[in-house]
Amino acid sequence: MEASEHTNDFIPAALAAYGIEADEIELAVIRAAHQTLWPPILELLNLDTGEVPLERDPDLSQAPPSQ
Partner 1 sequence: MSAGLDLSLRQQAAAIAAGDLDPAELLDATLARIEERNPALNAVVETFPERSREMLAAAPRGPLYGVPIVIKDEWPLPWRAQRFGAAEMLAPAAPGESGPYRALRDAGAVIVGVGNMHELGASSTGNISVYGPAHNPWNPERCPGGSSSGPAASVAARLVAGAVGADGVGSIRYPAAYCGLTGLKPTFGRSAMAGHHMAEVSTTIVSGALCADAADCRALDSVLFGEELAAGEPKGLRIGVIRGEVSEDVAPEVREACEAAIEDLRRESGGEVREIELPELAAATLATVLIANSESLGGVTPQRLNELDPGLSPLGRGLLKYRVLVPAMATIKAGLVRTMARQTLARLFEEVDVLACPTVPAVAPPLEAPMVELPSGIVTADEANVRGGALANLTGIPAISVPVGSSEGLPVALQLQAAWGRDELLLDAAEALERANGRRWVEATPPALGAEPLEA
Q: Which residues bind partner 1 (CB under 8 A)?
A: 10-11, 14-15, 18-23, 25-30, 33-34, 36-37, 40-41, 43-45, 47, 49, 52-55, 58, 60-64, 66-67
Q: Is the alpha carbon torsion for 5, 11, 16, 21 positive or negative?
A: negative
3-class DSSP state of 55: coil
**Within the chain, where are the H helices?**
3-18, 24-46
Q: How far is the CB of 26 from partner 1 (least distance, A)?
A: 4
CB of 59 to partner 1, least distance (A): 8
Nearer to partner 1 (CB atom), residue 1 or residue 17: 17
Rg (CA), the chain: 18
